[in-house]
Amino acid sequence: MFTQTLLTGLAIGGIYALMAVGYSLVFSILNFSNFAYGSIIMLGAYIGYYAMVRMGMPIGLAIAVSIVGSGLLCWLNERLAYAPLRKRKASSLFFMISAMGTSIFLENLVYATIGARFYNFPELFAKSNLEFRGISIGVLDVFAMVFSFVAIYGLNLFLQKSRTGIAIRAASYDIEVCSLNGVNIAALIGLVFGLAGALAGISGMFLGMKYIVYPTMGWITNKAYIAAVIGGLGSLPGAVVGGVLLGVLETFVSAYVSSVVRDVFSFSLLVLLLMVMPTGLFGRFLEEKV
């Protein structure tokens, strides 16, 4: 029972971690919470659904289409909604309001065009399980877990080693100096949103396959947001740890206490943690010597 719960928790934690990393990436560079991110994840699920079910693509290709589609949408989101604010040097409050507006717009766009119907992915392997020493875990869960961690690991490698990755980390610390070092900031921010969108595509696909596809499914990003805050907003290792921690703890609460109190637990955990550690587990370190 314990190992079983742990594995299920890791699977959902992997998806939380993906979403939390997407949040944190954007936060680390522009210092605001991108509340439109949930809608991008929702659109990623729809794109995947159309690619796989309506156009009959194999699952691998459908995931790729969802990644590219969500990446482009997230990039477009920045171009249309945030770039004009950036040019006017608006405070982060305005970015947040614009993000909320974008989120409401996208959800209602889906209601108005596709409709409020719930869609199910075909039960490809949703119901098939792997059995091992009395532990049973869904193939989809294993796939989601492995794919999430590979994606996060790849992203981390990119951020640590590549020239552009170093520039993204530099910009997260001081965007102005980064432009003095020859970085085209507008292009770099576009890339960051594209990357966050790609992660949204992956998590949208897995969420859609695990549960169902519907216009307000993006609200599950509340959990990703909690995970990102627990880990310390803007910190990528923090987002991963926060996501996995939240996924595992939630699953344990569902299994051993009751699934009814699961969300109460998540939000209480957030409040408690913030009282003890206001900057989260891996809050940013800032040191300036004068």
Partner 1 sequence: MLSIRNLNVKYGQIHALHGISLEVETGRVVAVVGANGAGKTTLMMTLAGLLSPAGGEILFEGTALPKEAYKILGRGICLVPERRRLYANLTVRENLLMGAYLRKDKAGIAADLERMYDLFPIMRERIKQYAGTLSGGEQQMVAIARGLMSRPKLLLLDEPSLGLAPLMVQFMFKTIREINAEGVTVLLAEQNAFQALDMADDAFVLETGRVLVSGSGKELLENPLVRKAYLGVKH
Q: Could you list the residues that contact partner 1 (CB under 8 A)?
A: 163, 166-167, 169-170, 172-174, 176-185, 284-290
Contact assessment for residue 38 and residue 196, using Cβ atoms and an 8 Å cutoff: no
How far apart are CB 279 and partner 1 at their closest, in Å? Answer: 14
How far apart are CB 163 and partner 1 at their closest, in Å? Answer: 7
Pick between residue 236 and residue 248 the one whose CB is nearest to partner 1. 236
Tokens encoding 15? 């998806």
Interatomic CA distance for residues 290 and 287, integer angstroms:
10
The number of beta carbons lying within 10 Å of the beta carbon of residue 260 is 9
Amino acid type, 103 = S
How far apart are CB 246 and partner 1 at their closest, in Å? Answer: 25
Across the chain, which distance is largest between two alpha carbons, in Å?
61
The burial class, CB within 10 Å (0-12 / 13-18 / 19+), for 116 is: exposed
How far apart are CB 25 and partner 1 at their closest, in Å? Answer: 14
How far apart are CB 289 and partner 1 at their closest, in Å? Answer: 5
How far apart are CB 110 and partner 1 at their closest, in Å? Answer: 37
- Backbone phi and psi for residue 27, each to the nearest 5 degrees, phi listed first: -60, -40
Interatomic CA distance for residues 192 and 176, integer angstroms:
17
Pick between residue 131 and residue 176 the one whose CB is nearest to partner 1. 176
Pick between residue 188 and residue 207 the one whose CB is nearest to partner 1. 188
Pick between residue 106 and residue 159 the one whose CB is nearest to partner 1. 159
Pick between residue 123 and residue 174 the one whose CB is nearest to partner 1. 174
Report H helices in 31-138.
37-49, 59-77, 83-87, 92-113
Measured N-to-C along each axis, helices 2-30 and 37-49 cross at an angle, to the nearest 10 degrees, of 120
Pick between residue 114 and residue 186 the one whose CB is nearest to partner 1. 186
Report H helices in 257-286.
262-276
